[in-house]
C-alpha cells in the first residue's frame, strides 16, 4: 500500500524526499516532502515507523530499471 500525504495548501499529493533523525526526539524522524504545484517543501516530525513506510513506498523511484 502506498502512503500519501496531501499538501495543506493545494491538496495535491506530496512527494517524499527524506527522513533524518530528529535532533530533540531520537525516536522521531524529521521527514521532508515536496509539493510540485506549490514548489515548496513541508517538514513533519513522524515516528520512525511511519517515516520508514514512506521511504519504502518511495524506494521504487530509486530502483534502477531492470533490477
pLDDT digits (tens, 9 = 90+) for 11-67: 999 999 999 999 999 899 999 999 999 999 999 999 999 888 888 877 655 545 454
User: What pLDDT score was predicted for residue 54?
Assistant: 85
What is the C-alpha to C-alpha distance for residues 41 and 15, in angstroms, rounded to an integer?
A: 9
Q: Which of 16, 1, 7 is nearest to 61 (CA)?
A: 16
Hey, how many other C-beta atoms are within 10 angstroms of the C-beta on 16? Answer: 22
The owner of cell 523511484 is 61
Hey, how many other C-beta atoms are within 10 angstroms of the C-beta on 46? Answer: 18
What's the chain's Rg over C-alpha atoms?
A: 13
Amino acid at each position: 500500500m502506498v502512503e500519501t500525504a496531501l499538501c495543506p495548501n493545494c491538496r495535491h499529493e506530496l512527494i517524499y524526499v527524506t527522513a533524518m533523525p530528529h535532533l530533540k526526539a531520537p525516536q522521531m524522524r524529521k521527514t521532508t516532502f515536496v509539493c510540485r504545484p506549490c514548489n515548496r517543501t513541508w517538514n513533519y516530525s513522524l515516528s520512525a515507523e511511519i517515516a520508514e513506510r514512506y521511504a519504502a513506498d518511495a524506494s521504487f523511484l530509486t530502483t534502477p530499471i531492470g533490477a
